Amino acid sequence: MGPGGRAGLDVLADPDAVADRVAALVGEYLSEPGAPVLGLATGATFEPLYRRLGLSCRAGDLSFARATCFNLDEYVGIGPGEPGSFRAAMRRALFDHVDVRPERMHIPDGTAPDLAREAARYEAAIVAAGGIGLQLLGIGRNGHVGFNEPGSSPTSRTREVRLSDSTREANRPAFPAGAVPERAITMGLGTILEARRLVLVATGGAKRAALTAALGGPISPDCPASALRRHPGLHVVADREAAPLARAA
């Protein structure tokens, strides 16, 4: 738990300090005895972190050799080889730079012919791996977690969802040549809440309103990230720009 009280909130100077802190948490987790099961997220927030993890791995200070990884989500209809897919984004950002075994990099398949079946398969794979020990989470500007958009139930499971216009707009840069997908497959909030530890990461002023609502507003499906407060192992790491004002003062 960090020094921020209830939710374990660390407020750090900038995105680099945030990445250093979260890299240390991930490094500690990966060096614990047993078989680590790490939940991963995509997004610009995690790029500095993944850079650090790649460098540490190359330097021999860190290893993913025993780790199994589960990503939160993937677009529907975008194949793993397409540059806009989260699978491709994870390869570029992390998987190509660490020693994780290919068969232990799990991301939902957004091209599966039966997405309900794919969602059930994904849930079963998480259980078969022993459950997620540490789950990294970002936050969307509208408070989404994974692709659990406002309105998502706190007990939701891995499923196909429709993306909000604001989320599609935020993710448009990943699709310079075409339309942003309208649907995705995401771990549910209920799935996420079963991880033993959650690390919610937010950087930049565009995340402040969402993080303020998540940590200080009502626990409500209007702000999906607010459901995370029910988890006793929630640790929030934010930079000064993203941190709720009252806490950052």
Residues tagged active-site: 73, 142, 144, 149
Structure tokens at 19: 């990445």
Nearer residue to ligand GLP within complex by CB, 76 or 139: 139
Cβ-Cβ contacts under 8 Å for 42 (sequence gap 6 or more): 71, 72, 73, 86, 89, 90, 93, 138
The span of 92-100, 140-148, 152-160, 210-218 binding ligand GLP (CB under 6 A) equals: 140-148
In Å, the largest CA–CA distance within the chain is 50
Q: Indicate which single residue of 140, 143, 188, 244 sits in contact with ligand GLP (rule: CB under 6 A).
A: 140
Q: Indicate which single residue of 42, 56, 156, 212 sits in contact with ligand GLP (rule: CB under 6 A).
A: 42
Structure tokens at 153: 């139930």
Does position 146 bind ligand GLP by CB under 6 A? yes
Alpha-carbon gap, residue 36 to 19, rounded angstroms: 20
The span of 13-21, 102-110, 133-141, 217-225 binding ligand GLP (CB under 6 A) equals: 133-141
Considering the complex, what minimum distance in angstroms separates the CB of residue 43 from ligand GLP?
3
Considering the complex, what minimum distance in angstroms separates the CB of residue 138 from ligand GLP?
2
Alpha-carbon gap, residue 12 to 239, rounded angstroms: 5
The residue type at 66: R
Nearer residue to ligand GLP within complex by CB, 16 or 61: 16
The span of 1-9, 13-21, 138-146, 149-157 binding ligand GLP (CB under 6 A) equals: 138-146
Burial class (CB in 10 A: 0-12, 13-18, 19+), 129: middle
Structure tokens at 187: 């771990």
Reported for 219-222, long-range contacts at CB under 8 A and 24+ positions apart, including other chains, are 219/154, 221/150, 221/151, 221/152, 221/153, 221/154, 222/143, 222/150, 222/151
Nearer residue to ligand GLP within complex by CB, 73 or 109: 73
Structure tokens at 222: 């209007």
Nearer residue to ligand GLP within complex by CB, 84 or 138: 138
Nearer residue to ligand GLP within complex by CB, 65 or 140: 140
> Residues in contact with ligand GLP, total (CB under 6 A)?
14
Residue ranges in 43-82 that form contacts with ligand GLP under rule CB under 6 A? 43-45, 72-73
Q: Is the sign of the CA dihedral 90, 127, 145, 29 positive or negative?
A: negative
Site string for ligand GLP, 85-104 (x = CB under 6 A): --------------------
Site string for ligand GLP, 154-193 (x = CB under 6 A): -------------x---x----------------------
Strand partners, 11: 238
Interacting residues with ligand GLP (CB under 6 A): 41-45, 72-73, 138-140, 146-147, 167, 171
